[in-house]
């Protein structure tokens, strides 16, 4: 398998497993990644996802150009016609929180993959870049849209327009990642954060992710209205009652996602 899945204590670890190819995604890897993403999205035993790459040299360098041929169909057929469009790396959506554990190169589609993570942790040997303009292309898997939302406009435009790479320290400075750790501590740090999230009430965590995602692209007043509706929906949930009861009884709550 070129993409592996391990589930332990409500945490799913998805590993891009082609270290010999810098964890670039060939067609088989893309199919496996898509199938795993659908699986974890609907698995009640998964509350948090960690996405990482095998080895310590590369998180992902995007599509494997040596094994990825252009589609036979025209763009119009794929985009507007009845032909099923090819899977896009920019469409890995899930309601579960996703932590990117970035070990080494996150370039092109690899960075676009990382940008879809809710939290990004990097090893101190990581480097990041969107070099598509250097070869006459653009980041076509959400890169132009997500980088501008992840960091300040000037830093985003610098990366997009120059195609230059930045190191882990610079990524931390501009807010592209939340933590930088030594390579041996990367998965341990990501897992610790994942378990902290997994211990929280699943419905509340899912609501927070959805509200934050929607709120980023809507007005403050509309976002506040949605927040109040979500608060009302969760108010009488079993987990919220359990949380309040556990607080009074001075014990750790046991959440069931109900």
Catalytic site includes residue 112: yes
SS3 breakdown of the chain: % helix, strand, coil, rounded to 5? 45, 15, 35
Tokens 């670039």 found at: 24
For 134-151, give the secondary structure using H, E and C.
HHCCCCCCCHHHHHHHHC
Are 59 and 105 spatial neighbours (Cβ–Cβ below 8 Å)?
yes
- Say which of 6, 20, 73, 132 is annotated catalytic: 132
Give the burial class of 249: count Cβ atoms within 10 A of its Cβ; 0-12 exposed, 13-18 middle, 19 or more buried.
exposed
Catalytic site includes residue 132: yes
First to last CA, the chain: 35
Give the burial class of 33: count Cβ atoms within 10 A of its Cβ; 0-12 exposed, 13-18 middle, 19 or more buried.
buried
Tokens 């993570």 found at: 117
How many Å apart are CA 128 and CA 104, to the nearest integer?
8
- Say which of 6, 112, 225, 249 is annotated catalytic: 112
Tokens 């610790």 found at: 192
The residues carrying an active-site annotation are 112, 132
């Amino acid at each position: 398998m070129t993409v592996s899945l391990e589930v332990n204590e409500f945490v799913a670890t998805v590993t891009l497993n082609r270290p010999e190819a810098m964890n670039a995604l060939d067609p088989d890897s893309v199919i496996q990644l898509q199938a795993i993403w659908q699986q974890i999205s609907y698995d009640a035993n998964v509350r948090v996802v960690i996405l990482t790459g095998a080895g310590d040299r590369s998180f992902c360098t995007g599509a494997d150009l040596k094994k990825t041929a252009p589609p036979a169909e025209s763009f119009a057929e794929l985009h507007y016609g009845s032909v099923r469009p090819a899977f896009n790396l920019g469409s890995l959506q899930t309601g579960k929180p996703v932590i990117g554990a970035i070990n080494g190169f996150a370039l092109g589609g690899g960075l676009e993959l990382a940008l879809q993570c809710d939290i990004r942790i990097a090893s101190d040997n990581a480097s990041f870049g969107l070099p598509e303009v250097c070869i006459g292309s653009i980041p076509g898997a959400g890169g132009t849209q997500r980088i501008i939302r992840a960091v300040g406009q000037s830093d985003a435009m610098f990366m997009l327009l120059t195609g230059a790479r930045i190191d882990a320290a610079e990524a931390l400075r501009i807010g592209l990642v939340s933590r930088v750790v030594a390579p041996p501590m990367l998965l341990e740090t990501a897992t610790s954060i994942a378990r902290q999230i997994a211990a929280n009430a699943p419905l509340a965590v899912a609501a927070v992710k959805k509200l934050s995602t929607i709120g980023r692209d809507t007005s403050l007043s509309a976002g506040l209205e949605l927040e109040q509706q979500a608060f009302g929906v969760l108010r009488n949930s079993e987990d919220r009652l359990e949380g309040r009861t556990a607080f009074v009884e001075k014990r750790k709550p046991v959440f069931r996602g109900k």
